[in-house]
């Protein structure tokens, strides 16, 4: 079963994207001709997690970006608990082909979605202009492969983390700093495992640089 989180209660517009795994619901914010941002949610099917990018998406849309928020729980065949990052790769490629076939995109991801975004950006650097990760759960990338993935991230990218995160520990940020010279780390003291309002300014400044 897909997620029961009702898209009609959200801002933006809900579109269906056809993929080889079936249809995926995507909440879209901002103008059609704006630079495209694809933001990936965390592992849980809770509405609060599926919609966690919404507030930032509204701010980005107001700045002229077109923000795509796929709900992987809208289709049980692509629900995050069923596969790891490498299985998501073809679905993301088909989403980008539908919404941004000729332009690089900004890719963002939080927790599980952060690991997915990192692995996708490492595999397809020509498609990703900039990368934003929020407390990425790189433990879903097995063993020493995580360092290899991080070293392949050649685009500019921003890493956001709360030091009191109880799910993906802030100390995990060190592996990113040790393996990628192009990362900009922004850490806050408190906020736990969430996309915080304070991150909006960091992201907007990063995208404008």
Bridge partners for 27 per DSSP? 14, 69
Instruction: Please indicate, yes or no, if residue 175 is contained in any of the structural domains.
Output: yes
Instruction: Please indicate, yes or no, if residue 122 is contained in any of the structural domains.
Output: yes
Instruction: Please indicate, yes or no, if residue 137 is contained in any of the structural domains.
Output: yes
| Predicted pLDDT of residue 148 | 86
Q: How many domains does the chain have?
A: 1
Instruction: Please indicate, yes or no, if residue 57 is contained in any of the structural domains.
Output: yes
User: Which pTM was predicted?
Assistant: 0.90
Residue 9 CA to residue 30 CA, distance in Å, equals 17
Residue 107 CA to residue 130 CA, distance in Å, equals 6
Range of the structural domain that residue 14 is part of: 7-208
CATH (domain of 157): 3.40.50.1820
Instruction: Please indicate, yes or no, if residue 138 is contained in any of the structural domains.
Output: yes
User: Cβ contacts of residue 51 below 8 Å, gap of 6+?
Assistant: 5, 10, 69
Instruction: Please indicate, yes or no, if residue 1 is contained in any of the structural domains.
Output: no
Instruction: Please indicate, yes or no, if residue 164 is contained in any of the structural domains.
Output: yes
| Predicted pLDDT of residue 1 | 43
Instruction: Please indicate, yes or no, if residue 2 is contained in any of the structural domains.
Output: no
| Per-10-residue mean pLDDT, the chain, length 209 | 55 80 88 96 92 96 96 82 67 91 94 93 95 88 75 94 96 90 93 97 94
């Amino acid at each position: 079963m897909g997620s029961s989180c009702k898209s009609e209660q959200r801002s933006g517009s809900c579109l269906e994207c056809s993929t080889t795994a079936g249809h995926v619901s995507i909440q879209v914010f901002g103008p059609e001709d704006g630079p495209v941002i694809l933001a990936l949610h965390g592992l849980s099917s809770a509405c609060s997690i599926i919609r966690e990018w919404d507030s930032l998406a509204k701010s980005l849309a107001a700045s002229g970006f077109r923000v795509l928020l796929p709900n992987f729980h809208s289709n049980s065949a692509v629900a995050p608990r069923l596969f790891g990052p490498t299985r998501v790769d073809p679905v993301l490629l088909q989403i980008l082909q539908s919404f941004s076939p000729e332009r690089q995109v900004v890719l963002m991801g939080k927790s599980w979605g952060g690991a997915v975004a990192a692995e996708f950006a490492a595999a397809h650097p020509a498609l990703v202009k900039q990368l934003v990760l929020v407390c990425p759960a790189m433990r879903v990338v097995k063993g020493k492969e995580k360092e290899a993935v991080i070293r392949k991230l050649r685009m500019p990218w921003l890493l956001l983390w709360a030091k009191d995160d109880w799910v993906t520990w802030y100390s995990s940020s060190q592996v990113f700093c040790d393996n990628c010279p192009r990362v900009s780390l922004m850490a806050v003291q408190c906020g736990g495992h969430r996309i915080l309002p304070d991150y909006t300014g960091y992201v907007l400044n990063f995208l404008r640089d």
